[in-house]
Homo-oligomer: A and B are copies of this chain.
């Protein structure tokens, strides 16, 4: 987390630093990005940087935090539009992800994602843990559209959903053919909606009953 000092900074200086950071992370994979380059670019002295952030990861996480925050906001907005239909909202999210008609910063962030697919996925998988997700989203989801049996299952469903949505968004950001990405994503959602246990097969329910 950035230090308080960072937030005390004049908006302009703060933005300059973040912009330089986006530029750097957008050009190289995380491991190769250098604090040196960022501060050179932003024109702030070495010592100052360490006054604001504890290290490269601190800075990177902060950038990603804000990005994910925006995605979540967007998802909530879409959930409202789709009257709580989780699957529909997520599908639209992926559909949109190809749009490049965004702000400079937005596009740079996509570029960051592109160069840091791996790290970004880490981020998704770790920071979007079930509890947080449920808290943030539960209110906007129409549960009657879902085949849930227990309260706790929502968290796990979201876990699964983000496990497939994040890669889809990344793939789209990386510039893969959006049509293909979407096609695959839809198949995945269908699998999840329909269920994979063969209807005739008794095996499938065993673990469920045991529990």
**A91 is an interface residue with CB less than 8 A from chain B:** yes
Chain A at the B interface: mostly helix, strand, loop or mixed? helix
Complexed CA–CA distance, A88 and B206 (Å): 10
Contact among B119, B160, B203 with A188 in the assembled complex (CB-CB below 8 Å)? B160
The interface-forming segment of A13-21, A35-43, A102-110, A190-198 is A190-198
| Contact A157–B196 (Cβ < 8 Å) | yes
Size of A's binding interface in residues, CB under 8 A: 51
Partner of A201, one of B126, B144, B195, B197: B144
Q: Which of A93-114 contact B (CB under 8 A)?
A: none
User: Quick one: which of B146, B152, B208 contacts A193, CB cutoff 8 A?
Assistant: B208
**Does A2 have its Cβ within 8 Å of any Cβ on chain B?**
no
Interchain CB contact (< 8 A) of A145 among B88, B121, B159, B204: B204
The 8 closest A-B pairs by CB, nearest first: A195-B195, A118-B122, A193-B197, A163-B163, A194-B195, A190-B208, A156-B187, A193-B204
Roughly how many angstroms separate A56 CA and B116 CA in the complex, as a whole number? 17
Q: A163-B163, A191-B160, A196-B157 are in contact. Are A203 and B145 (CB under 8 A)?
A: yes
Decide: A195 and B121 in contact? CB cutoff 8 A: no
A148: B residues at CB distance < 8 A: 196
Pick 10 A–B contacts, CB within 8 A, sort by A: A31-B57, A125-B167, A147-B195, A147-B198, A148-B196, A160-B163, A160-B164, A163-B167, A187-B211, A195-B196
Residues of B within 8 A of A191 (CB): 153, 156-157, 160, 192
Q: How far is the CA of A129 from the CA of B49 in the complex (A)?
A: 39
- A186 part of interface (Cβ distance < 8 Å): yes
Q: A195 → chain B, closest Cβ, in Å?
A: 2
Q: Complex formed: what's the CA distance from A191 to B195 in Å?
A: 7
